[in-house]
Amino acid sequence: MDKAVVDSRPTDSISTNDGLTYTGRRRRPSQSEAEAAVRTLIEWAGDDPDREGLVGTPERVVRAYEEFFAGYNEDLVALLSTTFEETADYDEMIVLRDIRLESHCEHHMVPILGKAHIGYLPAGRVIGISKLARLLDAFAKRLQIQEKLTSQIADTLQEVLKPRGVGVVIEAAHQCMTTRGVHKPGVTMVTSHMLGAFREDPTTRREFLSMIGKPRSASFDA
């Protein structure tokens, strides 16, 4: 692929099916333009992009970025469109905990590593548990801040599935503060977003927090 294309990456403000608002579209640079940008960064860092160990680095970085930021290409409504109504009237809490989280800080473009816990109270429909993990990845594989990521997951699940409530908790380490800046390894940031019964009913919220366990300090740098 070496053609510049216009894609769905956001610029300013139009409504999209992921619950966000963007306007306009940006021209996506071609692969060769992206590789040239990586070469420039290598030179800026003080190295020679033409030396043996770095000759293939621009192409490898571009391929890695395609994987890191694949979430921009996800259709979230389609992702959550398949649900199951044959639940034998199951109406208790469903929780998927300790889901591996890999994202990138939008301020420094360095990794955010941790785990997410997602729970909801079904209202006649449930969704395959793998879709919850894919929903997390669809938002995590974008440039992010943890607070926004937490809300996006909860809001999208509530809007599409329409359960009686949703709870999302994320625990993560940010390499923008562990490997640069203040250099504080071992620090974990915890964010939560509760909707419906998870916000309005203290008993439901306590049950959810009990099921995922008390947020634990841990290193997610590896």
Catalytic (active site) residue 146: yes
For the question of residue 176 being annotated catalytic, the response is yes
Residue whose C-alpha is closest to residue 72's, from 20, 132, 8, 27: 8
137 and 29 part of one domain: no
Confirm if 114 and 171 have CB atoms less than 8 A apart.
yes
193 is an active site residue: no
Residue 76 lies inside a defined structural domain of this protein: no
The answer to whether residues 104 and 112 touch, using CB atoms and an 8 Å cutoff, is yes
105 catalytic, yes or no?
yes
Among 178, 173, 162, which residue's Cα sits nearest to residue 127? 162
Regarding whether 121 and 33 lie in a shared domain, the answer is no
Query: Of 56, 39, 35, 37, nearest to 47 (Cα)?
Result: 39
Instruction: Say whether 108 is catalytic.
Output: yes
Instruction: Specify whether 125 is located in the same domain as 181.
Output: yes
Compute CA distances 15 → 8, 10, 24, 46, whole Å: 12, 10, 10, 42
Is there a single domain that holds both residue 88 and residue 146?
Answer: yes
List 174's β-bridge partners, or say none: 112
Range of the domain at 23: 5-68
Helix pair angle (146-161, 129-140), 10° resolution: 140
User: Which member of 144, 171, 176, 193 is catalytic?
Assistant: 176
Verify that 132 and 37 share a domain, yes or no.
no
pTM as predicted = 0.82
- Last residue within a domain, chosen from 68, 99, 122: 68
> One digit per residue, pLDDT tens: the chain, 222 residues?
444 443 445 543 434 444 444 445 678 899 999 999 999 999 999 999 999 999 999 999 999 999 999 999 988 878 888 777 766 677 899 999 999 999 999 999 999 999 999 999 999 888 888 999 999 999 999 999 999 999 999 999 999 899 999 999 999 999 888 888 888 888 899 999 999 999 999 999 999 999 999 655 444 443
Q: How far apart are CA 145 and CA 112, in angstroms?
A: 9
